[in-house]
Amino acid sequence: MYNMKNNPVRNTLNPAYFPMQKAYIGMPLFSGISVSFTNSGFTYSDLIKKDSDDSLYIDVANAINSMKGENLINVNTQIDLFNAGIVIGKKYFVGISAAERVHMNLLYNKDLFGFAYYGNEAYLGEEANIEIKLDATHFREYAISFATELTDKFSVGTRLKYLYGMENVSTKKTSIHLYTDPTTFAITASGNIGINTSGLSNFSDTENFNMNQYLFGKSNSGFAFDFGVQAKPVKNLILSAAVTDLGSIKWKDDAINYNAAHVNNEFTFSGIDINELLGADDIEQALTDYADSLASQFFLDTTYYSYTSTLPFSFSSGIQYNLTKKISTGLLYQGYSFRDYLSSTLSANLAITLGKKFNSNVVYSMGNNGRSALGLGIGLTFLQMHWYLVSDNVMAFVKPQEAKSTSIRTGILMTFGK
């Protein structure tokens, strides 16, 4: 969608983009719906295999082999509640929007599955680092966009967003390091567990649920902004760059914090220490006490402090060249950052624009997950209605079992002028 000139809401990806139309207004609830899914670790067919008798079987080992050290499961959905924009004069653009957004990012490492599936025997003499980084957020975004052409060749834009938080689950640094001695099998564990949640009582306490309070009365708020630039240094060449969703939400309502009681406390279990049982009147009770003492190493403390979660942010940089008035081609780098994980995609596109009526884009992309994908986008304008449909991996709809990621975005807007 980034290079689909006819699409008025492509400025959600780069606020410096001006729409080709004079104005647009999104159909409430239909102006934009998007769903994207990524599992960089493995595909469905990596996990579910077909046997010679045509039955299916679960091949966890193969799925684990497909994983990299660190893998991301990412689910993003967005429903635009309202979307409108207008070009003022020739140099200014102002837009407003509201959207309901849910994103879930889960970073997991290969050891998480490897340790669970193979057991610690596979890690004798080496450290298994089990790490989970999770952020699942449901929030509403109210945004106001502004773009301006500073010169004929250079425009900038920004979007300021007020964020209304509804639910969140996010981990702080949550990792467990386990080392199994190859000789004695003594297990040394260290690590940290920190989990924050907000708004989850809505799911368990349905009797006291208040819709109005839920939709508008929460005090979880935050701010974010997008920023973009576009330059036309020479005729037919367009350079662009943007960053989106730089911001955070402070969670105050129904905030619960679960933290490990013994933070980073290295603990070694070498087996039952007979010395602890010597002289015990009741061996069974002594063993129970011993087990309780071990378990206490993993107790979680619960507190109720407010906390802040940051949004995963995206950034992009592209170069586009108009081969003709109707055909353009270019390269686009897109990055998605969650915590310290960066998902990168480099894509080449060929866009065909037939006036205001038709716009199509073919994209071939390669991501740092090693997979390539073919994306398609079309935009049709009939009368004042503009409908668009884009996907960055259309083959995922044909062979979903082999897709690591896909997305689809569609919407209908009314466009005016130009």
Residue closest to 5 by CA, chosen among 408, 375, 411, 357? 357
- Confirm or reject binding of residue 185 to another protein (CB under 8 A): yes
Angle CA 354–360–364, to nearest 5: 140
- Letters for 385-414 (x = contact with another protein by CB under 8 A, - = none) are -------------xxxx-------------
* Cα(325)–Cα(321) distance, integer angstroms: 10
How many positions of this chain bind another protein (CB under 8 A)?
Answer: 39
* Cα(396)–Cα(35) distance, integer angstroms: 13
Q: Please, which residue, 29 or 294, has the CB nearer to another protein?
A: 294
* Cα(134)–Cα(169) distance, integer angstroms: 7
- Letters for 43-62 (x = contact with another protein by CB under 8 A, - = none) are -xx--x-xx--xxxxx-x--
* Cα(72)–Cα(66) distance, integer angstroms: 13
* Cα(150)–Cα(5) distance, integer angstroms: 20
Whether residue 307 contacts residue 196, with contact meaning beta carbons closer than 8 Å, is answered with yes
Q: Please, which residue, 136 or 187, has the CB nearer to another protein?
A: 187
One of 235, 279, 283, 324 touching another protein (CB under 8 A): 279
Q: What amino acid occupies position 257?
A: N
Interface with another protein in residues 325-384 (CB under 8 A)? none
Q: What are the angstrom distances between the C-alpha of 276 and each of 260, 283, 319?
A: 26, 10, 70
Q: Please, which residue, 278 or 383, has the CB nearer to another protein?
A: 278
Q: Please, which residue, 181 or 205, has the CB nearer to another protein?
A: 181
Q: Identify which range of 4-12, 121-129, 205-213, 380-388 contacts another protein by CB under 8 A.
A: 121-129
* Cα(44)–Cα(401) distance, integer angstroms: 5
- Letters for 86-105 (x = contact with another protein by CB under 8 A, - = none) are --------------------
SS3 43: coil
Smallest distance from another protein to CB 24, Å: 31
Q: Please, which residue, 383 or 398, has the CB nearer to another protein?
A: 398
Kindly list the residues in this chain that would bind another protein in the complex (CB under 8 A). Answer: 44-45, 48, 50-51, 54-58, 60, 116-122, 124, 180-181, 183-187, 269-275, 278-279, 398-401
